[in-house]
Structures are given as structure tokens and as C-alpha cells.
Structure 1
């Protein structure tokens, strides 16, 4: 387990992301968990490449939003709920795995840190035989 510099991460996220409230409002334990999951996911997906801390920070902010109190219900498969007359309905297609949440900007930072890399999170069209 890596102990991240949360002050540095919070400052980077505050100044470099538009959706940063969920990360910055989290307690230290939650921030560490978000950073660890972001790092583990990026390291697994891009195993042969150097993953800069900034890419982990950006992905951690996305995960904080995707798994906040409301959105984590969507990730757990809840179709909808209501609280005191306010209704939330989630679309089936909106549920995504961790890899699908990796922001393109984080991939660009990994590309920048690895001059020989040409990475993307976009789907790749491949030939197949039927």
C-alpha cells in the first residue's frame, strides 16, 4: 500500500479538474483508498509504462465522483430511488468498470511520460473472421 501525499494530490486536483468536490470533501482514509485504486488500475492497464502521479491524481478525482454516495448506487446496479420526493433514475448503460472511467487526459500524461508509447482508452477496431 502506498501512502500518498494527500496535500499535493488535493492541490493538484483542485487546480486541474473541474469536478473536484467529491475528492476534496473526502476524509484522509477515503482519499488514500481512491489514490490506491486509481494507481492499481492504471498500473495494471498500462503495466509496461511509467504512470506519473498526476495521472493517478486525475483518475482518483474521477473515481471520487463515480463512487460518491449517489453514484455508487448506480455502480452497484440500483436502477432508481427517491428521497423525500426527489427521484434519481440511473440508466443501465451508465454502469461502467474501472477501466472505462480512465480519463483521456490521464492517458495523455502517461503517453507524455513514455516517449515511445502511443496509448489510448478509445475502442480499437480489429479484424475478425466469422
Structure 2
């Protein structure tokens, strides 16, 4: 099955909690997010079948991360104000340069969907490594 904006809209509306940025995006932006999400998941997990639902989960995260307000933080803006209306300040960890690793943004929900599609293989955002005590 191929991902589509229509299917993504329906899935995200029913299965994701914060959906405003996705629903507010225009069709071209949604298609770019679907393309980037699918490509990022395929590159990160080349041995696994990536279900459309995992792409939709990740696309919704990208919509929030790259919304108009958060884009300012990624471009290095630390704070800004609209006189008499609002003031925004950003944490340093929101600043991602042009070479940012999008794979770090993959939500655990997408990994769970990939895991289920591939026979329950364990996928986690946590890194496993050796520790010396």
C-alpha cells in the first residue's frame, strides 16, 4: 500500500493526540513530510517492512517539529515577541542545524508499528551499550 495524504489525514485524526499542525498544513507540505518520513524510516530500518501507519505517525511529529514557530528556533532565534500579543522563548535543544539527524525524531509509536509489522522484532529509541561500574 502507498502512503497518501487522504489516508494520513484519516489515520492522524483518529490515532494521534496533537494533530493541529498536521491538519493546518497545506497539501504540498503534507506530501513533503510524508516523503521525508518514509525516506528517513527506510534508511534507518532498511531490513524491515515499513507500514504506512508508521510513516503517518512520524509525519505528524515532523509537522509539529517544523511548524512555523518551531522553525524559528531551528534557525537560531532564541526569543521573539509580538508587541502586546505574545512572547516566545526557545530551549537550546530545539535548535537543529540543516544537518540535523531526523531519525532522532522518530517516535516510539512508529517503532512499535514497524515492530508489529515485522513479527515483533524489538525496536526502541533507547541505546543499548556496555557500562563499566
> How does the TM-score come out when normalised to structure 1?
0.87
Report the alpha carbon displacement of residue 123 of structure 1 after superposing the two structures with TM: 2.6
Contact 2:70 2:94 in 1 (8 A): no
Q: Distance in 1 between matches of 2:13 and 2:120?
A: 30
Deviations 1:42-64 (A, max 9, x none): 11111111110000001000000
Q: Does 1:93 align with 2:93?
A: yes
The 10-residue stretch of structure 1 (95-104 or 9-18) with the greater mean CA deviation from structure 2: 95-104
2:11 aligns with 12
CA RMSD between the two structures: 1.8
1:45 aligns with 44
Structure 2: give runs of 5+ residues left out of the alignment: none
Deviations 1:71-102 (A, max 9, x none): 11112222111122422111112335412211
The total of aligned residue pairs comes to: 126
Q: What SS does the aligned partner of 1:70 have?
A: helix
Structure 1: give runs of 5+ residues left out of the alignment: none
Contact 2:3 2:52 in 1 (8 A): no
